[in-house]
């Protein structure tokens, strides 16, 4: 949370410390624009794009259409299973789903690795490297005042360190917990109509991580205002976000979920009465 609010992270490595200045929303758009322009420039110079390379690979039997569709299917399935696992309260059921997710992730990584080898000289691959260099040159410094950029020839050696931090700060569970922290959430609740006052930057000058923090805090606040959240999950922002209001049955009564039954059972010495299954 401190990293996100102040707008930079301190990266430790064997040679000391580096300062990763989080890029703003407008900078993120500029990086994407640079990437697209570089792709077009590469294609004009004769470098094939991924689509053409994959078509040639399929034609030459170095890749298959089935593998291409499998990547799409696994990506979709992992996302759906990951969202579903957050709503499962039973430990053993959740563990089974997580094992399935891990197995599918491994299969996906193997396919993506094979595909990257085929596309390693594509216009997109060339442009991605150029984009990464641009991000590193714009956002990595050797001092806390951001006056000394890292030397250009050394920047790529810190790429994994920087993108590991970016992935960490983009993790949905981590953002949700940071957004729900008392240090931030109480101030946000007071200023939710104008959340930009919580940061030095405003609008598109906010960092991408600050934007995510505000988005998650707003979603949690909205859920707390509009949905009756079970006491058992009130301290867990991830469960709050995934919680869905119980649907009413045809009789007009509301069905009780597994978490609610466990809560009632705990309050009644492990016993459940027939009426506990309905609200």
The reported pTM is: 0.77
Q: Which residue has the higher pLDDT, 91 or 223?
A: 223
The torsion region of residue 9 among left (phi > 0), alpha (psi -120 to 50) and beta comes to: beta
Bridge partners, 13 (sequence order): 16
Q: Report whether 17 contacts 110 (CB < 8 A).
A: no
Nearest to 94 by CA among 102, 105, 86: 86
Nearest to 87 by CA among 194, 240, 215: 240
Confidence at residue 273, expressed as pLDDT on a 0 to 100 scale: 45
Pairing of strands 140-141, 8-13: unpaired
Q: Which residue has the higher pLDDT, 100 or 87?
A: 100
257: Cβ contacts below 8 Å, ≥ 6 apart: 246
Confidence at residue 247, expressed as pLDDT on a 0 to 100 scale: 46
Tokens of 27: 């900078």
Query: How large is the average pLDDT for residues 136-142?
Result: 94
CA distance 247 to 226: 15
Nearest to 260 by CA among 236, 230, 228: 230
Q: Which residue has the higher pLDDT, 136 or 263?
A: 136
pLDDT interval class at 250 (50, 70, 90): very low
| Predicted confidence (pLDDT) at residue 100 exceeds the cutoff of 70 | yes
Would the CA dihedral through 228, 230, 233, 235 be positive or negative? positive
Q: Report whether 78 contacts 101 (CB < 8 A).
A: yes
> Domain map of the chain by residue range?
170-245, 248-277
């Amino acid at each position: 949370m401190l990293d996100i609010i102040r707008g930079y992270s301190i990266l430790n490595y064997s040679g000391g410390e580096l300062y990763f200045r989080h890029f703003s929303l407008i900078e993120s758009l500029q990086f994407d624009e640079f990437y697209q322009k570089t792709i077009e420039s590469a294609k004009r110079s004769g470098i094939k794009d991924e689509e053409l390379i994959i078509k040639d690979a399929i034609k030459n039997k170095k890749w298959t259409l089935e593998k291409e569709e499998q990547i799409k299917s696994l990506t979709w399935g992992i996302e759906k299973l990951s969202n579903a696992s957050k709503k499962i309260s039973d430990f053993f059921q959740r563990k089974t789903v997580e094992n399935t997710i891990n197995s599918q992730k491994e299969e996906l990584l193997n396919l993506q690795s094979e595909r990257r080898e085929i596309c390693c000289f594509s216009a997109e691959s060339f442009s991605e490297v150029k984009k990464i260099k641009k991000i590193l040159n714009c956002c990595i410094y050797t001092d806390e005042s951001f006056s000394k950029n890292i030397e250009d020839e050394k920047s790529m050696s810190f790429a994994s360190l920087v993108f590991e931090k970016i992935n960490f700060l983009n993790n949905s569970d981590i953002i949700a917990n940071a957004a729900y922290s008392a240090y931030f959430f109480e101030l946000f609740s007071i200023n939710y109509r104008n959340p930009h006052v919580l940061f030095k930057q405003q609008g598109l000058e906010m960092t991408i991580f600050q934007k995510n923090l505000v988005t998650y805090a707003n979603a949690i606040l909205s859920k707390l205002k509009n949905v009756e959240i079970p006491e058992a999950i009130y301290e867990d922002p991830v469960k709050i976000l995934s919680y869905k209001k119980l649907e009413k049955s045809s009789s007009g009564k509301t069905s009780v979920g597994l978490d609610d039954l466990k809560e009632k059972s705990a309050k009644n010495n492990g016993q459940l009465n027939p009426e506990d299954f309905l609200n």
